[in-house]
Amino acid sequence: MTAGAKLRTVVDGPQPLVIDVTPRMTAERGRGTVVTRLPARIPGTGEPSRFEAVVAGWRFEVAVEPAARAELRERAARIGGARATSVRRVIHAQIPGRVVSVAVAVGDAVERGQRLLSIEAMKMENAVLAPRAGTIERVGVAAGEDVELGDELAVMA
């Protein structure tokens, strides 16, 4: 993750609050702020990280992920719903980090949402999921390799 990159937060509530914020490394203490990481709903799916934040006694659950990734996710969801599945699809790294594991090999048939590989960044494991059903045509990385934002990870047919 690039330093200073915007993060998209979704605060739960009757009307969920969506705000993009820049993380701070210096801050005045909010009144009695306590932040706790919540367990993933479905582990390893690359869903946004979830936190409980108690501020001035008010308790919230907040989902956080890089704003760029959130936008890609939204776009993917829009396109994935509309397009035919025959087009080649290049999967790029949406966060810089180290590839922890690769779960697929060339020729594998995958389902939409299946985990292809995992990238560790900011001490967090982020799953890269198949944007649609298809076949793995190429795998561009191996476990242990470092990747930069936008690097080609895999190609699906």
Partner 1 sequence: MRKDGRPFRRVLIANRGEIALRVIRACRELGVETVAVYSDADANARHVRAADVAVRIGPPPAAQSYLLVERIMAAARETGAEAIHPGYGFLSERPALAEACNAAGVVFIGPEPATLIGLGDKLNARRAAAAAGVPVVPGTLEPVATDRPDAVEAAVSEADRIGWPVLVKAAAGGGGRGMRLVERAADLPAALAAAAHEALAAFGDGSVYLEHRVDGARHVEVQLLGDAQGTVVALGERDCSIQRRHQKLVEETPAPGFDAARRRALHAFAVAVARAVGLRNAATAEFLVGADGSAWFLEVNARLQVEHGVTELVTGLDLVHEQLWIAAGEPLSGRVLAAAARAAQPGRHAIEVRLSAEDPGRDFAPTPGTIGRWRMPGGPGVRVDDWVEDGTRIGSDYDALLGKLMVVADDRAAALARLRRALHELEVTGIQTTLPFDLWLVDEPHFQAGELSTDFVPRLWDPAPLRAAAAELAAQSAADALAGGEYAPFGGVAPDDAVRQGGGATGWASLGRREAIERWPR
Give the C-alpha distances (Å, rounded to integers) separating 54 from 11, 31, 101, 110: 12, 9, 35, 40
For residues 102 and 70, what is the distance between their CA atoms, to the nearest angstrom? 23
Stretch that binds partner 1, among 75-83, 87-95, 115-123, 148-156 (CB under 8 A): 115-123
Binding mask 12-51 for partner 1 (x = CB under 8 A): -x---x-x-xxxxxxx-xxxxxxxxxxxx--x-----x-x
Q: Are 154 and 91 in contact (CB under 8 A)?
A: yes
Per rule CB under 8 A, count of chain residues that contact partner 1: 47
Which of residues 45, 47, 53, 133 is near partner 1 by CB under 8 A? 53
Q: Are 54 and 34 in contact (CB under 8 A)?
A: yes
For residues 44 and 99, what is the distance between their CA atoms, to the nearest angstrom? 14
Which of residues 45, 59, 144, 146 is near partner 1 by CB under 8 A? 59
62 touching partner 1, by CB under 8 A = yes
Give which of 32, 34, 61 is closest to 49, Cα–Cα. 61
Give the C-alpha distances (Å, rounded to integers) separating 80 from 66, 83, 112: 20, 6, 9
Closest separation in Å from C-beta 131 to partner 1: 23
Closest separation in Å from C-beta 16 to partner 1: 10
For residues 44 and 128, what is the distance between their CA atoms, to the nearest angstrom? 9
Closest separation in Å from C-beta 151 to partner 1: 20
94 touching partner 1, by CB under 8 A = no
146 touching partner 1, by CB under 8 A = no
The residues that touch partner 1, with contacts defined as CB under 8 A, are 1, 7, 9, 11, 13, 17, 19, 21-27, 29-40, 43, 49, 51-60, 62, 64-65, 100, 120, 122-125
